[in-house]
Amino acid sequence: VEEPDLPKFHSTSEPGLPRSCMEANIGSSPSRLRHADSWASKRPSTSESQRSSGSASRHRGNERGKTRTATAAQVPRVGLKATRSLTTKLDELRNRLDVSAEEESVGGLDPWRATVNRFLSHRYVQMAVASVILLNTVYVGIETDEGKLWATSGGVDGVEIVFVLIFTIEIALRLFVGLRRFFCGALYEVCWNVFDLGLVVIAVTDLLFLSLFFQGAAEDLEGFGVLRILRVLRVARVLRLLQFFEELWLLVAGVLDAMRSLVWAWVLICLIIYVFSVLITSTVGKMHARVICQSTGDEVGVLFGSVTTTMFTLFSVMTINGWGERAKCAMEVEPWAWVMFVAFLVCTSYGMLNVIIAVIVEGTLERAMQRQRLQSTQEDAERRQHITQVVGIFHKSDKDKNGMVTREEFLTSLEQPAVMKNMLSIGIDVAKARNLFDILDYDCSGSLDLTEFLHGMLRARGEAASKDIIQLQCDVMRAEQRQREALEDVRDRFIRRLKPVEMEIEAAHLEVKRLLCALEASAQNASLQSCGAGGSRGDSEDTMLLSCSSMDGGYTVEPGLPRGLPDG
């Protein structure tokens, strides 16, 4: 059997790479993996290659005659060794290919990056970051009023340095998790990531300029408008709180979604204000501009002298802030003016403003429902992905392919990198997964089928509390099974003990029936003897015997009738 040529796993940058180096560096280039995968998929199985090579050898032997006899003792021996070595190398190659494919499905995160990602995603860490952002926002206001609380030797605020250092470490850890996840994820996450990165860059730039060029004196930035704007933008970090508080984000998202309707609502309000402003200006302001109002002490023209001033006055009236004084001022010169103010309030404050609030509430509820649907879709997709990964773990653990996983097979599979990746991706600690089989095997059968394995692994995800809960559930199931077995044992013993008693009762019942039949026969014979019917005595006895036997069989025959006589 001839050994097929191995694929060349070297690129133009690595000419002449030997085979030993190929095995050591096989996972360093994606092109090598694709080349190896395509070559491995086209390669026939070992048995097929042996059969095809054997048939080709026999065909050549028929043509060459005695040459086949000379080579048959050497070629198979060498070919078998080459085929085994080739199969071993292909198995290693496929294992590495499986690991790389599962790394891509998990997100390409190694254990360190996965650990950092879980750390950043922990709710306590997110709460801590939100608290730091809130403290930084409060400190910006304090610094604006009181100045620096802790100035360093270079004149830079030490408290601000601490905040910038915390934010820089946080953004550096997020970049360490993966640049692709940071810049090429979902649009919502990418926008927030770029926003956070920009704020950190602005803060670091601000500190560098203050410390290097202005010795920490922010008052010297009067001629540098850009740097002053950068310092003001520090307050924008408070917008990051929208990431951590879902209710706040839902409210903002509802307002943004309702913005189109809000624009048209405000256009209608402006039209209403304009119409009433023209009406009040022409009837009150122009005709009584020099009259001084007793309620406000101002001239009527100050409040209603032009369309623009009347529009501003009506806008303040719409907010119901001192609208009574302005209405009384107009009523002093025109008593009927209260009609216009009441109509204006009905149309605006009690009409359109409530419509605006309803539009905002509707947008918020719609956004909340969309978010809930999206979250349900993501949870379903995540659950399907976890089910696929658990099924993959089961098939990798089932070495003998009998549909059952034993404890030895499960412990052996935990040493495979692919299984470890899947365990980490579904949230199961590999270090604590070794006793997971004993927890799931509640019936102590020594093996798990796919259903038990799948349900147990999905319930064991998460922190240690989840495993404690599932262990408690499995213990309860074990106790339930033991109680069921004990009840079945008690039932079997009870049935075995009652069976002889039932047989004795049945025998006594039959004996009583025989005694009753005998008594009936004796009474009949006595009556026949007293009547002198000797000829029919034998028939009567036979009839009575038939009646007794019929009673034993479950039916009765009327006693006393001789054989051969009809019932009539």
The pLDDT of residue 53:
43
Phi, psi angles (nearest 5°) of residue 484: -65, -45
**Pairwise pLDDT comparison (393 vs 176), residue with the higher score:** 176
> Quick one: which of 51, 377, 346, 31 has its CA closest to 186?
377
> Can you read off the two tokens belonging to residue 228?
């002053």
506-560 pLDDT, tens digit each: 889 899 998 999 898 888 888 888 766 554 445 544 544 444 444 444 444 444 4
Give me Rg for the CA atoms of the chain.
48
The pLDDT of residue 468:
62
269-315 pLDDT, tens digit each: 999 999 999 999 988 888 887 788 877 777 788 888 889 989 998 99
The pLDDT of residue 88:
58
Is the confidence at residue 406, as pLDDT, over 70?
A: yes
Widest Cα–Cα separation across the chain: 155
CA angle 357, 360, 362 (to 5 degrees): 110
* Cα 364 from Cα 256, distance rounded (Å): 9
Q: Bridge partners of 406?
A: 447
Q: Bridge partners of 292?
A: 299
The pLDDT of residue 225:
53
CB atoms within 10 A of CB 24: 11
* Cα 263 from Cα 256, distance rounded (Å): 11
32-84 pLDDT, tens digit each: 334 434 434 444 444 444 444 444 444 444 444 444 344 434 434 444 444 45
**Pairwise pLDDT comparison (554 vs 350), residue with the higher score:** 350
* Cα 193 from Cα 182, distance rounded (Å): 6
* Cα 141 from Cα 147, distance rounded (Å): 9
What is the number of H-type helices and E-type strands within the chain?
25, 2
> Quick one: which of 500, 555, 548 has its CA closest to 524?
548
DSSP 3-state of 319 = coil
Split at pLDDT 50, 70, 90, the class of 148 is low
Is the confidence at residue 3, as pLDDT, over 70?
A: no
What's the whole-number mean pLDDT along residues 103-121?
69
The pLDDT of residue 75:
37
**Pairwise pLDDT comparison (457 vs 25), residue with the higher score:** 457
**Average pLDDT, whole number, for the chain?**
70
**Pairwise pLDDT comparison (173 vs 262), residue with the higher score:** 173
The pLDDT of residue 532:
60
What's the whole-number mean pLDDT along residues 355-383?
81
Least confident of 322-331, 404-413, 458-467, 541-550: 541-550
What's the whole-number mean pLDDT along residues 487-501?
88
The pLDDT of residue 370:
83
**Pairwise pLDDT comparison (10 vs 443), residue with the higher score:** 443
**Pairwise pLDDT comparison (30 vs 294), residue with the higher score:** 294
